[in-house]
Each structure stands twice: as C-alpha cells, then as structure tokens.
C-alpha cells in the first residue's frame, strides 16, 4: 500500500473511532442529564405537595379532606410546568396518619415496588403527625419525548460524524498529496542517481524537514558529481604523469637498441632520473592513499618543535639567498615538545616552506612562526607571492591540482605536495588551513595538538639552577 493511501486510511480510521466514541459518550451523558433533570423536577413537585399537606394540617389540625388539596396542587404543578416549559409525569401520593392508617391514597397497583418513591415524615411544630409517601410516575409523553430527544441527538452526532469523515477524506487527500509529493521527487531523484545521472537535482518548495531532506540530497549529488569528476581527473592525471617518463624511457631504450643512441653515462642517468620520478610518484600516491584512509603507520617521537623547524629551514637558506628572499623565523619564547613522526612532518614543512620560497618573487619575504594557541601548536608559513584566487582556494589540497595549470611539471611537481601535507597533518590529529588574496601573498597554518608538559625540561633545569 502506498504512503498516500496509508495516510488517508489512518486519518479516516481515527475519525471513525473518535465518532463512535463520541456517539456512545454523548448518548450516555445526555440520557443521564435528562434523567437528572426529570428527577429534579419531580423532587420540586414532591416538595410543593408536601408543603401543601403541611399547610393544610396547620390550618385545619387534621389530615381529613387533604386529598382535594393534593389534587388541586398536582393539577396546578402540571399547569405551571406546561407554562414554564417543564416536562415530567404525575406524582402519586400516599399519606398515613400518626398511627399508620392510610388517610389518602392516589396510587395505582404495584406502586410499592417503585424504586424512586420518596418517604418523609410530616412534622408540625416538632410533632410527627403522619407519613408522606410520593411515587413519581413518568408519563408516556415524557418517555416518547425522551426517546425523540436522544434520537435527535444521535442523528446530529451521525451527521456530524459523516461530515467529519468527509472533511477528513478531503483534508487527507490534500495532506497526503502535499506530504508524498516531495517524497516522490526524492524517490525519482534516487532512481536517477542509481542510473548514473548524478547531476540530477530536486526542487522542494516546502519549508519543513522535507526541504532539508531535499537540500541534503542535492548536496549529496553535488558531492557525488564532484567525487566522480575527481576520480576521472585522477585517472587521467595519473595516466598523464606516468605517460611522460615512460615515453622518455621507452624512446631512449628503443634508440639504444636500434644503435641510434649510445648508452653513455649521461643517457643512463637521464633514464634513471625518469625511473626515479616514476618511483617518487608511485610512492607519493601510496603514502597519500594510506594517509587518507588513516592506515598510515606513524613513528612518533617527542620532539622540540623550535629546533625541529630551525634545522629544516636552515637547509633552504641557499635557495633564499639565491633569490634574495628574506627569511624570518619567529620561534616560541619557550621550548615546545610534541609527539610527531619526524619524517612525515619534515615532508609537510618542506612542501609548505618550499612552495613559499618557490612562489615568492625576488627581494620578497617569507615568514615562519611557531606559537601556542589553546591546546594546539601552530606553524604558519607566510609569503609575499602573487597569492591565490579565492575561487581556487577550495581545490588546492586536491590531488594533481595546480593553481597555475600552465606551469611545467618538472618545475611545479605532480601537484601532490599539498594533498600529502594535508593527509599527514590530519593523521597526526591536526588541521591545515590556507588564507590568501590575489596580489597579497599566501599563508598556510598547521595546527598540531600539544602535550600537557610542553615546557622543556631544560627550562626547568635552568630555573632550578637559578634558585
């Protein structure tokens, strides 16, 4: 059964159950209220008849002839009830004197079995002069009126119930259509994506959870589309990166085999360089895959980060001098110890610092900072290069992505440096960020978790010696 049918069926079932419950409840309740009304009316009539008997005895000193008074009072009560819109039956009376003898008896047969009879003593000035027994009798007209009233109420409830069912069907159709429409769109979208049409998007107009679900679906398809694009680009880029060195190696070997090229030391070195480039590319891809899948094994050691950074940066001093680039290394005021894999983090620093030097023009400046922010140690690399366009920033950590697509591969590498740096940093539990504006340079920041005892023991020894 479809969801739309289930919604309509559920709503109709609820209305039917509520209608039946209300019908039984109201019918019972109305009958009870009607009975209470008749009972109160009878009690009022009985009290008036009793008062008439008491007044008669007070004025005559006897109960003889009180039947005429009762008949007149009963008739008067009925006339007044009719005038005021009251309904009810007659009141049958039995009066006993002080000795228990019947003085007045207007009852018919079997009145003694009437459960609604009222028996009260007649007390005049503190003296019991007799007993007053009343038997309310419901007339046929009252019974018919009661039945007609209950029937009219049942008809009203039935009509209201039918109207409610009709409205529930109309509202159910409207709501089910409104609810199932976005679901139908999503199901259609899922079917399209399953067929490979990952560029399919849904458009949901509602402003509820379905809108959020539709937005999530669109984001998912965008991610799938982007992932598929990356996958195709990755295959193409890997094939391209492998094709060039393999073509060079194959051409040189064919030339040597054909005798057109002599296998000199220079030729062999050129072939070895291409083999090394292939090996490095394959190794980089392997390391990147391990890092992204968090399967990379780390050999962490306690390392003082200021000395670690200084030892790496000093190796690039010649390159900076060659381009007349000013290097500024701002160390932390205290020694900072963190647990890192030195080989992996060396590659991260080399990639980021090497890029900063490579893209900084002559007479430029590169600044490296080491500082502590909260629970992290931050390494920042700031250059004064041409900067990166804002629309390209989200993609710079992707495999084989180059900001300058026209740059030669032997100058700019395979485009894996930043991807590897990001993977290695994340494996260490850290984060890498980039900030850049076109024409204002670029800044990379690497955040690594610090240890609680990041102040060096050497500083503690110095303090102890000073004391």
The alpha carbon of residue 26 and the mean position of all alpha carbons in its chain are separated, in whole angstroms, by 41
Query: 224 or 464: which carries more pLDDT confidence?
Result: 224
Q: In the chain, list all ranges with CATH 3.30.450.20.
A: 3-145
Pairing of strands 337-341, 376-383: unpaired
Helix axes 3-60, 140-194, angle to 10 degrees: 160
**Surface-to-core class of residue 130, CB atoms within 10 Å of its CB (0-12 exposed, 13-18 middle, 19+ buried):** buried
Instruction: Tell which phi-psi region holds residue 97, choosing left (phi > 0), alpha (psi between -120 and 50) or beta.
Output: beta
Distances (CA, A) of 298 to 92, 336, 425, 426: 107, 20, 11, 12
Helix axes 140-194, 209-258, angle to 10 degrees: 10
138-142, 153-157, 302-306 — most confident range: 302-306
Q: In the chain, list all ranges with CATH 3.30.565.10.
A: 300-459
Q: Residue 464: its pLDDT value, please?
A: 42
User: Residue 422: is its pLDDT beyond 50?
Assistant: yes
What residue ranges in 158-315 does DSSP mark as E strands? 300-304
User: Residue 306: is its pLDDT beyond 90?
Assistant: yes
Rg (CA), the chain: 51
User: Distance between CA atoms of 46 and 33, rounded to whole angstroms?
Assistant: 20
The alpha carbon of residue 322 and the mean position of all alpha carbons in its chain are separated, in whole angstroms, by 58
Helix ranges (H only) for 202-293 are: 209-258, 265-292
User: Distance between CA atoms of 448 and 429, rounded to whole angstroms?
Assistant: 7
Checking 31-36 for CB contacts under 8 A at 24+ apart, the result is 31/146, 31/150, 34/146, 34/149, 34/150
pLDDT tens string 458-467: 444 334 433 3
- For domain 3-145, give the CATH superfamily: PAS domain (3.30.450.20)
User: Distance between CA atoms of 58 and 210, rounded to whole angstroms?
Assistant: 85
Q: What is the mean pLDDT of residues 140-168?
A: 74
Helix axes 342-359, 417-427, angle to 10 degrees: 140
- 337 contacts 451 by C-beta, under 8 angstroms: yes
Query: 37 or 431: which carries more pLDDT confidence?
Result: 431
User: Residue 455: is its pLDDT beyond 60?
Assistant: no
DSSP assignment letter at 325 = P
User: 3-state DSSP call for residue 119?
Assistant: strand
Residue 353 host element (H or E): helix 342-359
- 337 contacts 300 by C-beta, under 8 angstroms: no
Checking 398-403 for CB contacts under 8 A at 24+ apart, the result is 398/230, 399/230, 399/234, 399/237, 399/288, 400/233, 400/234, 400/237, 400/238, 400/241
CATH class of 209-292: mainly alpha
Q: What pTM does this model have?
A: 0.49
Confidence of residue 107 (pLDDT cuts 50, 70, 90): confident
Q: What is the mean pLDDT of the chain?
A: 78
User: 3-state DSSP call for residue 212?
Assistant: helix
Structural fold of domain 300-459: Heat Shock Protein 90 (3.30.565)
Q: Residue 382: its pLDDT value, please?
A: 94
User: Distance between CA atoms of 199 and 221, rounded to whole angstroms?
Assistant: 7
Q: In the chain, list all ranges with CATH 1.10.287.130.
A: 209-292
**Surface-to-core class of residue 352, CB atoms within 10 Å of its CB (0-12 exposed, 13-18 middle, 19+ buried):** buried
Confidence of residue 189 (pLDDT cuts 50, 70, 90): confident
């Amino acid at each position: 059964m479809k969801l739309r049918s289930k919604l309509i069926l559920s709503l109709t079932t609820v209305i039917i159950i509520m209608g039946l419950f209300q019908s039984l409840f109201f019918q019972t309740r109305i009958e009870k209220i009607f009975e209470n009304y008749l009972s109160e009316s009878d009690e009022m009539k009985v009290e008036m008849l009793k008062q008439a008997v008491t007044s008669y005895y007070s004025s005559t000193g006897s109960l003889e002839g009180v039947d005429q008074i009762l008949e007149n009072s009963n008739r008067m009560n009925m006339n007044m009830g009719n005038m005021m819109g009251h309904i009810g039956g007659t009141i049958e009376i039995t009066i006993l004197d002080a000795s228990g003898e019947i003085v007045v008896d207007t009852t018919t047969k079997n009145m003694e079995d009437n459960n609604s009879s009222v028996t009260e003593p007649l007390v005049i000035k503190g003296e019991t002069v007799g007993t007053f027994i009343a038997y309310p009798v419901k007339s046929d007209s009252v019974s018919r009126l009661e039945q007609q009233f209950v029937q009219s109420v049942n008809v009203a409830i039935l009509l209201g119930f039918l109207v409610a069912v009709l409205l529930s069907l109309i509202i159910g159709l409207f709501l089910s259509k409104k609810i199932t429409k976005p679901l139908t769109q999503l199901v259609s979208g899922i079917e399209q994506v399953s067929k490979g049409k990952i560029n399919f998007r849904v458009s949901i107009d509602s402003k509820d959870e379905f809108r959020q679900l539709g937005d999530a679906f669109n984001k998912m398809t965008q991610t799938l589309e982007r992932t598929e694009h990356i996958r195709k680009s990755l295959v193409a880029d890997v094939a391209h990166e492998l094709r060039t060195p393999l073509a060079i190696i194959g051409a040189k070997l064919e030339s040597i085999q054909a005798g057109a090229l002599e296998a000199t030391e220079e030729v062999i070195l050129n072939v070895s360089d291409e083999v090394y480039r292939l090996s490095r590319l394959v190794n980089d891809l392997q390391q990147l895959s391990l890092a992204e899948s968090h399967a990379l094994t780390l050999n962490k050691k306690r390392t003082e980060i200021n000395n670690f950074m200084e030892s790496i940066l000093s190796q690039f001093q010649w390159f900076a001098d060659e381009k007349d680039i000013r290097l500024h290394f701002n160390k932390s005021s205290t020694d900072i110890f963190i647990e890192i894999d030195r080989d992996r983090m060396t590659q991260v620093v080399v990639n980021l610092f090497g890029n900063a030097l490579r893209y900084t023009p002559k007479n430029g400046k590169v600044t490296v900072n080491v500082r502590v922010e909260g629970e992290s140690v931050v390494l920042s690399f700031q250059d004064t290069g041409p900067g990166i366009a804002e629309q390209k920033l989200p993609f710079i950590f992707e495999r084989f992505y180059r900001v300058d697509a026209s740059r030669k591969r032997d100058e700019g590498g395979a485009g894996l440096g930043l991807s590897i740096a990001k993977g290695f940093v994340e494996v260490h539990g850290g984060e890498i960020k980039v900030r850049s504006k076109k024409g204002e340079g670029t800044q990379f920041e690497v955040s690594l978790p610090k240890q609680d005892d990041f102040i060096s023991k050497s500083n503690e020894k110095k303090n102890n010696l000073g004391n």
